[in-house]
Amino acid sequence: MKQEYIFIGPPGSGKGTQTKKLSEEYKLPHIDTGALLREEIASGSDEGKLADSFISKGNLVPLNLVANIIKNRLKKDDCQNGFILDGYPRSTEQALALDDILAEIDKDSDTKPIVFYFKIDEELLIERLVNRISCKDCGEIYNLKTMNIQGNKCPKCGGELIRRNDDTEEVAKKRFDTYFRETAPLIDLYQKRGWLTTLDASLEIETIYKNLKGAIKGNVHS
């Protein structure tokens, strides 16, 4: 059976950290809209320039730009057994667009995605974001405050460790505003559909991962 997971939560709640672990263990593609958009920016394309003008202000990039990126990605062969969507959808409009994309791609399947909501108090998040550092090559995510990271080389692959441009306190606050205004209503939407599972994202990384896998095994929506 196809495994379709959607991760929703505020900036810094640990979606990327958990997706990376699950994607490696379950051999499912990690579809991270933020990373795909940052690749587009790095390529210097017109879409990238447009995306940058929104990301640098902590706003969502336009609906159609992200929908096209997601649709093209979900059509690839490696998504046939499933995928993890990290950071999409982020608004009611995007959730409805995703319904259409999945109806087109999954027309012979009756799989319903499991939506994991990473629930956490906002005050814990700024500190996580301003201390985040990640590997330019393998994408591994670290935290300078809670992990013992020496120098600027990735402990996993030796790649360069970088900070994201939008991980300043000022932009992070704007990202939170955008999250509460645009994305938080999805919790209610998916709850009503019976697709939502809530995770306590304030716990230790390994505990959250254990809870995540437990919920997948039980296929519990709570």
In the complex, the smallest distance separating the C-beta of residue 108 from ligand AP5, rounded to whole angstroms, is 26
Measured CA to CA, the distance from residue 111 to residue 92 in angstroms comes to 20
- Looking at 20, 38, 73, 90, which residue is catalytic? 90
Hey, what long-range contacts does 139-143 have (CB within 8 A, 24 or more apart)? 139/16, 139/20, 139/32, 139/35, 140/20, 141/16, 141/17, 141/20
Closer by beta carbon to ligand AP5, 37 or else 74 = 37
Cβ at position 174, least distance to ligand AP5 in Å: 8
Stretch that binds ligand AP5, among 73-81, 82-90, 95-103, 108-116 (CB under 6 A): 82-90
Cα–Cα dist 71/206, whole Å: 32
How many C-beta neighbours within 10 Å does residue 56 have?
13
Judged by CB under 6 A, the stretch of 9-17, 96-104, 155-163, 191-199 that binds ligand AP5 is 9-17
Per-residue string for binding with ligand AP5, 107-136, x by CB under 6 A? Answer: ---------------------x--xx----
Residues 79 and 5: their CA atoms lie apart, in Å, by 12
Q: Which of 8, 31, 33, 40 binds ligand AP5 (CB under 6 A)?
A: 33
8 binds ligand AP5 (CB under 6 A): no
Distance CA 120, CA 142 (A): 19
Residue number of the CB closest to ligand AP5 reads 34
Binding mask 160-199 for ligand AP5 (x = CB under 6 A): ------x--------x------------------------
- Are 161 and 136 in contact, with CB atoms under 8 Å apart? yes
Contact region with ligand AP5 (CB under 6 A), list: 84-92, 105-113, 187-195, 214-222: 84-92
The correct pick among 6, 30, 34, 186 for binding ligand AP5 (CB under 6 A) is 34
Closer CB to ligand AP5, residue 10 or residue 114?
10
d(CA 214, CA 203): 15
Give the helix/strand (H/E) hosting 82.
strand 82-86
| Tokens (6 digits) for 116 | 């994991």
101 alpha-carbon distance from chain centroid: 18
Estimate the crossing angle of helix 63-74 against helix 33-43, to 10 degrees: 100
Q: Where does this chain bind ligand AP5 (CB under 6 A)?
A: 9, 11-17, 33-34, 37, 54-55, 58-61, 66, 87-88, 90, 94, 128, 131-132, 141-143, 146, 166, 175, 204-205, 208
